[in-house]
Amino acid sequence: MEIVVSGTRPTGILHLGNYYGAVRNYVRLGEDKNVKGYFFIADYHSLTTHNNPAELKVLVKQTIATYLACGLDPEKVVIYVQSDLPQIPELYLLMNMLAYKGELEKVATFKDKIKIHKENINAGLLTYPVLMAADIIIHRAHKVPVGKDQEQHLEMTRNFAKRFNSRYEVDFFPEPIAYNFGDELVKVPGLDGSTKMSKTGGETNAIFLNEEPESIRKKIMRAKSDGGPTTMNQEKPQEIINLFELMKIVSTPDTLAFFDNAYNNCVIRYGDMKKQLAEDMVNYLTPIRTRINELINNEAYLQRVVSRGAEEARESAAKTISEVRKIMGISYF
Ligand code: TRP
């Protein structure tokens, strides 16, 4: 059985890029009978930069609802909240003894974050990769579906796992690898001409999974385009490539081919293309939006899912911790 673990910081309702780039792949992994999947909300990690209790409550619930609405099935994978597993902070503490200040200070995400949060350079931020390693190795995972931006964290996880194995002369933790679905990983572009849909691009760049049809239509009609092609088979500028990329995701191959031909023959009308894209986008997202709205209002169900998930995840985590304690000599009588 292959163990797969991945976490998401609770950032609330995700956008199309998060769905298509990440959550959809969790769902596919969950369908694989040879995979044991653990998917969790990394609420502790979000505390390294945020400190708003009321907001955290809302964001965690929204993130769970989004996971479920996207099709992650609690019957097939384990869905839980990080802070429901006391074994994670315990392993984090133990792994901190194996993590060097020097290597932590060199991590790119740490260097970026301390530039943005000069007033709050806390130890949690420095040891973020140790906590992430604990998240992963607590289930002795083999694969971690994450984006490229997490590659360095994963390399550190492997280092910590290796260091533990060699220091205690055991072969206990596997060295987990990033699992990014090879060529299938499609980057979802933004609506503002940028190559990546991102939350910080906000109002003009991203389409959120719970976005109302009217708002989707407005955003797409306002998406960046150019003056149109002037010669046959002309290369497309980035903002036009983006519209076609989005169409590839939500429209039929026939629709895509129709507008591609129109572009190549210089008869394309971007207004028509955007209208079509908007309708296809609305149809694509409507089931997810409906489901998110249902789930957000069903707190009892959300709670049931994560408390069951936590129970199962704790079982796996407790096994690991008890072995780790034995290996490290933390068992005296
Ligand atoms: N650091 C990850 C991110 O920012 C979130 C995360 C925390 C994570 N723990 C993890 C991802 C464990 C995979 C596995 O996206």
Checking if the pLDDT of 123 tops 60, the result is yes
Instruction: For residue 199, report the distance from its CA to the centre of ligand 1, in Å.
Output: 17
Active site residues: 113, 196, 199
Q: 45 in ligand 1 pocket by Cβ < 6 Å?
A: yes
Locate the ligand 1 atom nearest the alpha carbon of residue 131 and give its number.
9
**Torsion region of 266: left, alpha or beta (phi above 0 gives left; psi -120 to 50 gives alpha):** left
Checking if the pLDDT of 318 tops 70, the result is yes
* H helix or E strand, kind and range, residue 144: strand 143-144
What integer pLDDT is reported at residue 182 of this predicted model? 61
SS3 6: strand
Locate the ligand 1 atom nearest the alpha carbon of residue 9 and give its number.
5
Cα distances (Å, whole numbers) of residue 330 to 85, 166, 276, 287, 326: 20, 18, 63, 51, 6
Domains annotated on the chain, with CATH = 2-186+298-328 (3.40.50.620), 199-293 (1.10.240.10)
- Residue 35: beta bridge partners? 2
- Read off the tokens for 141: 């995972």
| DSSP summary character for residue 189 | P
Q: Whose CA is nearest to atom 11 of ligand 1?
A: 7
* Distance separating alpha carbons of residues 188 and 166, to the nearest angstrom: 41
Q: 144 in ligand 1 pocket by Cβ < 6 Å?
A: yes
Instruction: For residue 174, report the distance from its CA to the centre of ligand 1, in Å.
Output: 18
pTM of the full structure: 0.91
Angle at 34 between CA 32 and CA 35, to 5 degrees: 70
pLDDT per position as a tens digit, 139-175:
999 999 988 889 999 999 999 999 999 999 999 999 9
Going by C-alpha positions, the residue among 26, 24, 33 that lies closest to residue 5 is 26
Amino acid at 309: G
